[in-house]
Structure 1
Amino acid sequence: MFATVRFGANRQEFVNLLCRVHTLTGHLKKKCQCRPEDCIDLVDEKGTLMNLSKVENPASEYASKYLQGRQRYILIRVVREENSEATCYESLLEDLGKHYPDLPGLGHSTDQLQRLSGKIQKTDQRKNQRRSLHRTQSHTSIRARNRSTSHSRRNLELKNTPK
């Protein structure tokens, strides 16, 4: 499962999403020559913030949980103001407006990216709830199926025993 990340002077990097978020962001920082202490993130071609910089445990979470394969992403720097809660996003792709003239957010209004990031978090919460519900349902159905199979085996054994 791979994705394309665009940055610099129209450079692109193919990245494997079956790795930890920490590994992916570290690799991208080296490729775009960011400082190790810089905070980076990705935006898809529609301007949706992927929120990799807010992953609680990037050393154990897989990037494939947050990113989709075969998609193109734009590398951004996340700049948090020291004395306020304001967050700014800076594109690391040169001439962003030339490549994506309709891209909302970057360089214009960070409010839209922040609203989009809030939507992503809510969507992720719903997905996680559906996944856990699906796991519970499938686990229950497997247990019920096993019970009915063992029950039918016993009935078959009883029928085949001589009287």
Structure 2
Amino acid sequence: MFVTVRYGANCQEMVNLQCRVLILTAHLKRKCQCRPEDCIDLLDETGTLMNLSKVENPASEFASKYLRERERYILIRVVRESSEATCYESLLENLGKHYPDLADQLQKLSANTQMRDHWRRGSLQRRAQPLTSTPARPRPTSQSKKSSELKGTPR
């Protein structure tokens, strides 16, 4: 059971999924020359974030629980700008050249976490729009038409 992880200047690394998440991420950090304190994660080719950086106990959880064998993943850096805002950066150079849709998806992921955080803090509030509809005029029914015709026409 293995996966391919893409990073750097079109580099690839095949990794075994029968290891702990902590070991996998440490290995990938060494390969792509990240700092040990950097937070990394993986993005699959459809743009789904694997959330390895949010695994509660990476020292005991196996990577095979979170990743699908024989898939290709893109290595990304997770940058927590504040306690709640998160930004995702591709560690594969020229991501847009290799995966044009993923470059946009990565920006949306970053924007979505920032928007969600604004909502949580209450800085963005939905404003109720006043109703501006005019009251409906009563339509003449066939009964009222007949009565008005009878009133207007002498017999």
TM-score, normalisation: structure 2: 0.69
State whether structure 2 residue 18 is matched by structure 1 residue 15. no
RMSD (CA atoms): 1.6
Percent identity of the aligned residues?
Answer: 77
Greater Rg over alpha carbons, structure: 2
The CA deviation at 1:108 is: 5.1
- Partners of 2:12 and 2:113 lie apart in 1 by 22
- Partners of 1:49 and 1:113 lie apart in 2 by 12
- Partners of 1:19 and 1:7 lie apart in 2 by 20
SS of the equivalent of 2:27 reads helix
- 2:97 corresponds to: 98
Structure 1: tracts of 5 or more residues without a match: 115-163
Contact residue 42 and residue 51 of structure 1 kept, 8 A: yes
- 1:145 corresponds to: none
Contact residue 20 and residue 62 of structure 2 kept, 8 A: yes
SS of the equivalent of 2:28 reads helix
The CA deviation at 1:106 is: 1.9
The CA deviation at 1:85 is: 1.2
- 1:34 corresponds to: 34
Contact residue 41 and residue 77 of structure 1 kept, 8 A: yes
- 1:147 corresponds to: none
- 1:57 corresponds to: 57
Query: Where does structure 1 differ by over 6 angstroms across 4 or more consecutive aligned residues?
Result: none
- Partners of 2:94 and 2:113 lie apart in 1 by 19
Contact residue 88 and residue 109 of structure 2 kept, 8 A: no
Contact residue 105 and residue 112 of structure 1 kept, 8 A: no
Question: How many equivalent residue pairs?
Answer: 113
Higher helix share: 1
TM-score, normalisation: structure 1: 0.66
Q: Deviation per CA, 1:123-145, whole angstroms, max 9, x where unpaired?
A: xxxxxxxxxxxxxxxxxxxxxxx
- Partners of 2:4 and 2:19 lie apart in 1 by 14
Paired AA for residue 33 in structure 2: Q
Contact residue 48 and residue 113 of structure 1 kept, 8 A: no
The CA deviation at 1:28 is: 0.0
Structure 2: tracts of 5 or more residues without a match: 115-155
